[in-house]
Amino acid sequence: MADYQVHEHDVLVIGAGGAGLRAAIEASAAGVSVGLVCKSLLGKAHTVMAEGGLAAALGNVDDRDDWSTHFADTMRGGQYVNNWRMAQLHAQQAPERARELEAWGAVFDRTKDQKILQRNFGGHKYPRLAHVGDRTGLEMIRTLQDHGVHLGIDVHMEHTIVELIQHGDRVVGAFGYDREKGNFRLFKAGAVILATGGIGRAFKITSNSWEYTGDGHSLAYRAGADLIDMEYVQFHPTGMVWPPSVRGILVTEGVRGEGGVLRNSEKKRFMFDDIPDLYKSSTADNEEEGWQYTQGDKDSRRPPELLTRDHVARCIVREIKAGRGSPHGGVFLDIAWIKERLPNGEDHIKKKLPSMYHQFKELAGIDITNQPMEVGPTTHYVMGGIRVDGDSQMSTVPGLFAAGECAAGLHGANRLGGNSLSDLLVFGKLAGENAAKFAKDNALSFGKEQEEQADAARRKALAPIERQDQGGDGPYQIQFELQDKMQELVGIVRNQDDLDKGVETVLAMKERAKTVTAPGNRQYNPGWHTALDLDNLLTVSEAIARAAAERHESRGAHFREDYTAKDEQWGKTTLVVKKGADGEMTLTKEAVRTMPDDLQKIIEENK
Amino acid sequence: MASVTFKIWRGDKDGGSFADYQTDITEGMVVLDAVHQIQAESASDLACRWNCKAGKCGSCSAEVNGMPKLMCMTRMEDLPTDQPITIEPIHAFPIMKDLVTDVSWNYEVKKRIKKFKPRSPDAADGTWRIAQEDVDRVQEFRKCIECFLCQDVCHVLRDHHKHEEFIGPRFFVYAAALDMHPLDTENRLEDLKDEGGIGFCNITKCCTTVCPEHITITDNAIIPLKERVVDEFYDPIKKLAKIFTGK
Ligand SMILES: Cc1cc2nc3c(=O)[nH]c(=O)nc-3n(C[C@H](O)[C@H](O)[C@H](O)COP(=O)(O)OP(=O)(O)OC[C@H]3O[C@@H](n4cnc5c(N)ncnc54)[C@H](O)[C@@H]3O)c2cc1C
Ligand code: SF4
Ligand code: SF4
Ligand code: FES
């Protein structure tokens, strides 16, 4: 007997962050019925936390900017293993998506001539990030949410999807439960869009919330989709390090964009010590030039604090390891010093970085207009994810689409700040459009066999509660241990021994997780929810560890102390993770697609 | 490290009671950390909401020692830990379980407020020109993180349960954000007066006191809206003008 409620939509969107909302809006505009599911309340997804801004070559601050420069910056940042088609579409369409947001009610900071203001960010050649102070994500998610609620989208909030339902290969729905009562739900759908975000909870120190357990990655993997680039996990250079309970919480790159500098315990601006060749010609070699750049001087080059995130994170690790760190194991990030240069410095800081001011004041008792912050790297973003077709956003499984952080390709080996919010809009829209088309073109077929899949998913979901008296580990125990091990063995600086151990550890934990228990009943039970998310967390952890162990070079966010250089052959190789016929995870190498000449030319021109 | 006692409300819509938990508090911890620690140590099914842990998402609202707070922004150091700390769910909405309440009413209310309607674009390329001062003015209201703490303390909802007739301070802030939006052209005053029940607000300012985003809800949002409602509907000269112009 099926004890679940059934819903039917033409398009089901899983995830209500920027990508999911934008996809739902687009699908709805195409005239199909749309369901939107999310684990938290509407408007609380990760997107709400984004601070710095959204990258789009509007050219409002520097009219030399255009899509081709944005494209070249994104490719350089990603170390040229990006899906170039996505990088191209992203750069071309981001300006239109940003302007459309304004038409839906978003309010961005302005230039003197009353256009959308843009700020500097790491790896972007020109000021490119549209923003409102340091709460751009809130502005974006609220705008999409408020626009979306008037379109007749069915929102199922505080619902978690645990399995995709398939007819042959094709995805025809999803199965999940509502968090309040723990009742099950079957969603039949002509097409499904995954927009579930990232995997940060696989690591101990992270800027990510409980939601980031790699659900979409894992759902797609179990349905037979390819995952690519899983070795590339972005460690953001500046997370809070003190007090311990806030360790990992993000300190926006906007602090450095506004002139903030990094110093070690000897008060030295250590970022000048190591500037990578790829960026030598575009980086300032003295403090004065760097400062002028942050103040909008077009002839100055950027300060080294605004080099790409992977590089800045490693320089910070180097300083800490060399004993030149701050008292609580980080380095110093100083924005207060700009008071020496700006007469109204204090107000300027409060105005441009209000939530940073607030965050440090209230959580660490530090006034950033007077004192430096202590910061260190934190797990922030996953470049790897579900492989999609650049134009349609369909995964390698028919009827299954992906957009936003859970999809891969755009960012290659390292994402530039600000390129995520624009990613959500550009590819959310394309996913919504193409999923709607797919649902219209392909009639839904749902029968007995699909109901059996739903039943199996229900039994699997209930197991941790049913065996609560059988003495297996609790969910938090396994989760904490996994986070510790991933941080230690598969973190910022990697080597073969650790990575091999990492794979073994994850496999052993997978065994233990088979008997995980969740005391209590199905009613709003976080222990049970954590137990169910564990499976996903283990799947993505295994994929990350395996891919990282295989890639014998350093590239972007993937840094190997035993292979510190880039390797030409590896630079042409993508690692693909897929579920094998026997259920084991397989890892294969594939050649990176060669870029067409016109795009290659743009890259050369921007070198 | 000190062991602290917490009295946490456990139960659901059918009732419940406070349960005692002990946990060790270390430097810099916030109330939400303590709740998580208790979950991990002794009550894995203790329900609470959270996401960002940095006061940005508005998920973790609760009443700590009787005060409406974001648990993630309430530092243990600021509480008297020699006595038990009580944590209970916000009161203005129905209980789901433990610290989690059913706030879906708020989402329904928002749907009923007329949506943003921009004036036609200022430039040929479909974009608008807006002065930074106009952005700054409306930003205060757009900062709202929808934590609903203001709804929780407003006596019209909390004590008088006027959920059918009164939209609450959060949605006055929302209406003010739309009203003062530099591009918006919609008129929502009649709705604020009728469905919104703005007249029920007697300016106690409790909402302003608890807002974690420090939005001056009463002075900057509600009072100006009330004045506009009065101008529009109760100003005798305007009323006359209306009769003649038919507007
Ligand atoms: C603190 C912070 C600051 C950042 N700042 C910036 C910035 O300035 N600029 C920038 O470009 N990027 C920034 N980023 C990155 C960017 O915010 C994220 O990558 C982006 O918001 C992800 O959006 P998304 O739509 O893919 O997913 P999210 O916004 O995370 O949404 C995921 C959704 O999926 C749902 N979901 C997940 N699993 C399930 C499931 N099993 N069932 C149902 N629903 C599910 C969740 O509930 C949620 O609704 C920042 C990130 C953080 C953490
Ligand atoms: S000022 Fe008005 S809205 Fe605010 S709490 Fe008092 S009565 Fe409620
Ligand atoms: S106005 Fe303030 S208290 Fe009310 S919901 Fe918004 S942020 Fe919370
Ligand atoms: S967890 Fe986001 S506001 Fe507290």
B74 within domain boundaries = yes
Domains located in chain A, CATH noted: 237-377 (3.90.700.10)
Domain check: are B123 and B213 in the same one?
Answer: yes
Q: Please give the model's pTM, rounded to 2 decimal places.
A: 0.95
Whether residue B217 has its Cβ less than 6 Å from ligand 3: yes
Single residue among B36, B67, B100 that ends a domain in this structure = B100
Residues from chain A contacting residue B180 (CB–CB below 8 Å): none
The DSSP string of A116-154 is B-EE--TT-SS--EE-STT-HHHHHHHHHHHHHTTTT-E
Alpha helices (runs of H) in A301-418, residue ranges in sequence order: 309-321, 345-352, 354-364
Which whole number is the average pLDDT over B34-63? 95
Domain check: are B96 and B109 in the same one?
Answer: no
**Whole-complex ipTM:** 0.94
B183 within domain boundaries = yes
Is the bond into B94 cis (omega within 30 degrees of 0)? no
Structure tokens at B129: 């020109």
- The total domain count for chain B is 2
B15 within domain boundaries = yes
Do A523 and B12 lie within an 8 Å CB cutoff? yes
B244 falls in which pLDDT band (50, 70, 90)?
low
Domain check: are B148 and B87 in the same one?
Answer: no
Domain check: are B167 and B140 in the same one?
Answer: yes
- pLDDT for residue A1: 47
Domain check: are B227 and B114 in the same one?
Answer: yes
Do A138 and B107 lie within an 8 Å CB cutoff? no
- pLDDT for residue A330: 94
- pLDDT for residue B242: 61
| B45: nearest CB among A155, A480, A519 | A519
Ordered mean pLDDT values, 10 residues apiece, chain A (607 residues): 87 98 98 98 96 95 97 96 98 98 97 95 93 94 96 96 98 97 97 97 92 97 98 96 89 92 96 91 94 91 92 93 93 96 94 90 93 95 98 98 98 96 98 98 93 96 94 91 95 96 97 94 95 97 98 96 95 97 96 96 94
B244 within domain boundaries = no
B90 within domain boundaries = yes
Domain check: are B113 and B95 in the same one?
Answer: no
pLDDT single digits (tens) B75-133: 999 999 999 999 999 999 999 999 999 999 999 999 999 999 999 999 999 999 999 99
- pLDDT for residue A308: 87
B231 within domain boundaries = yes
Q: Check whether B17 has a pLDDT greater than 90.
A: yes
CA distance A4 to A162: 14
Domain check: are B169 and B87 in the same one?
Answer: no
B11: containing domain: 2-100
Residues from chain A contacting residue B48 (CB–CB below 8 Å): 526
- pLDDT for residue A296: 87
Do A526 and B44 lie within an 8 Å CB cutoff? yes
B13 within domain boundaries = yes
Do B143 and A138 lie within an 8 Å CB cutoff? yes
What does the H/E/C string look like for chain B? CEEEEEEEEEEECCEEEEEEEEEEECCCCEHHHHHHHHHHHCCCCCCCCCCCCCCCCCCCEEEECCEEEEHHHCEHHHCCCCCCEEEECCCCCCEEECCEECCHHHHHHHHHCCCCCECCCCCCCCCCCCCHHHHHHHHHHHCCCCCCHHHHHCHHHHCCCCCCCCCCHHHHHHHHHHHCCCCECCCCHHHHHCCCCHHHCCCCCHHHHHCCCCCCHHHHHHHHHHHHHHHHHCCHHHHHHHHHHCC
Domain check: are B174 and B63 in the same one?
Answer: no
Residues from chain B contacting residue A464 (CB–CB below 8 Å): none
Q: Give the sign of the dihedral formed by CA A471, CA A162, CA A586, CA A573.
A: negative
Single residue among B100, B119, B151 that ends a domain in this structure = B100
CATH code: domain of residue B85: 3.10.20.30
Whether residue B56 has its Cβ less than 6 Å from ligand 4: yes
Structure tokens at A291: 């400062």
Domain check: are B37 and B110 in the same one?
Answer: no
CATH code: domain of residue B127: 1.10.1060.10
B63 Cβ under 8 Å from any chain A Cβ: no
What angle is formed at CA B108 by the lines to CA B103 and CA B113, rounded to 5 degrees?
130
pLDDT single digits (tens) A532-581: 999 999 999 999 999 999 999 999 999 999 999 999 999 999 999 999 99
Domain check: are B7 and B85 in the same one?
Answer: yes
Rg of chain B on CA atoms, in Å: 21
| A524: nearest CB among B39, B100, B132 | B100
Order of all β-strands in the sheet with A331-334: A233-240, A373-382, A331-334, A261-263
The torsion region of residue A28 among left (phi > 0), alpha (psi -120 to 50) and beta comes to: alpha
The atom number, within ligand 3, closest to the CA of B146 reads 5
B60 Cβ under 8 Å from any chain A Cβ: no
Domain check: are B126 and B210 in the same one?
Answer: yes
pLDDT single digits (tens) A290-345: 999 999 898 999 999 999 888 999 999 999 999 999 999 999 999 999 999 999 99
Number of A to B CB contacts under 8 A, please give it: 170
Single residue among B79, B100, B121 that ends a domain in this structure = B100
- pLDDT for residue A313: 94
Q: Give the sign of the dihedral formed by CA A158, CA B43, CA B22, CA B13.
A: positive
Pairing of the two strands A129-130 and A118-119: antiparallel
Angstroms from A21 CA to nearest CA on chain B: 16
Q: How far apart are the first and last CA of chain B?
A: 68
A105 Cβ under 8 Å from any chain B Cβ: yes
Do B52 and A180 lie within an 8 Å CB cutoff? no
B173 within domain boundaries = yes
- pLDDT for residue A244: 84
Domain check: are B228 and B115 in the same one?
Answer: yes
